[in-house]
Structure formats: structure tokens, C-alpha cells
Amino acid sequence: MSGDHNRRAYDGYALAGLDRSGQAEAFDAIGDRYDEAFPHKEGQLASGAWLAESLPPGSRILDVGCGTGLPTARQLVEAGHEVVGIDLSAGMLDLARVHVPGATFHEADLAELRDGRLGTFDGVAAFFALLMLPRPEIPHALRLLHELLRPGGLMALSMVEADVDDYAIPFLGNTIRVSGYLRDELREVVREAGFEITGESSLAYAPLSTDVPPEIQLFLNLRRAA
């Protein structure tokens, strides 16, 4: 897949003026209660370790939807990588800067990166970030991440397995909107975006908070195929 084709494929991403402020405000209010509600992140840590160990030391990695910086930004910095985190929630970013002073964080929507303002990356971590988008936007976001990766670059991606699109759910005393795929469809979507799947795992996860239902978490190890 050529770079020009990919640019055309994501050129309309988020240009419809979708208001994401409600999502950001919810996570501003949640703050560090997010890490309290999700205290055991074995699947995310294992996927982050794959990314950290598969890239050369000092690689530049984009952490999409970095949240509080825990555990991923800290894990990648401690492995010797240069980490750039983005998130819509200013409150989450305030916590991330305290938790991981060795990383750089920006308040930004992924769509804003299509102008190249943050450059390109050797790796991407996208843990439970793309599920915050309406489902029609997820393929465009994946193509944008493909374009932000250098040839042969790697991405650790996680989603919750669910056949839903922009579905409102209660979440730690707030309301957020989420989307998901069943795993066969997720595999198809990432391959169509130009990624090779080099590894895959799933995990049944029950958050500590009773306000958040149990879920099946899907983790994909991806390589930019072209």
C-alpha cells in the first residue's frame, strides 16, 4: 500500500466536526480512579513488553490515548525508549507528567497528527484508545497510524471484543461512548489498514470496580506491512 494511497484513505478522518469533548471531560473527572479500577493489567504489560523488546533501544514510540502514563509510557521509558504520549484529557495528562517525567506528553486528538506535527515513529502503543471512536472512524485512524509508522514499524493494539458502535456505557460514575469488533472482523480491519498480524492473545478481564462490566480484551502485535 503506497503512502499516497494511505493518505487518501485517512484524509477525511474526523473532518466531520465530531465533538469529543464529552469523552475528555469524563476522563478528566475519572483521573487516577481509572488505575484503581483497573489494577491488574497483565495483558497490556505483556503486549507492551513485546513492543519494548522488539524495537532497538532508543526507538521513538507514540503512546495513543496514554491516560495516566501507567503502565505503558512508564514501561517503555524504563526499557530505554523515547516516548511521546497523546491524550484528549488534560487531567489524565497532568497525572502522566508526574508518573512518567521521562516522556513527552501532548493534549491532542489523533486526527491532529495527520499534519506531521509530531513526526514519525518506530512504534505505536494503542491500548484501548481506538475503542473511543465511532466504528466508521476506526479504519481511518488505523491508516493514519500506519502512515505515522516508519517502514517495518511495530504497533501494539488492544481493543475490547464487542459488536458495538458508539455505544453509551456507564463508566466510573460517568458516561462514555465505545465501539468494538468481534475478533475476526478486527483482524480484517487491521489487515486492510496495511498491517501484518505477528501475534495475538485474548484475556478475560474483570475490573475491580463493579461499575464496569467484565470484558474480553484482545491484543494484537502488528507490523507495518508496506
Spacing of C-alpha 145 from chain mean position: 10
CA nearest neighbour of 167 among 158, 176, 155, 177:
177
Percent over 90 (pLDDT), the chain: 65
- Terminal CA-CA length for the chain: 6
User: Cβ atoms within 10 A of the Cβ of 60, count?
Assistant: 17
pTM of the model: 0.86
pLDDT in tens, 15-56: 544 555 566 665 665 665 566 666 678 999 999 999 999 999
Q: Give the helix ranges, DSSP H, for 100-137.
A: none
Peptide linkage before 101 cis (omega within 30 of 0): no
Condensed to tens digits (0 to 9), the pLDDT of residues 160-216 reads 999 999 988 776 777 778 899 999 999 999 999 999 999 999 998 877 665 667 789
**Residues 64-94: pLDDT tens digits?**
999 999 999 999 999 999 999 999 989 989 9
Q: What is the pLDDT of residue 209?
A: 61
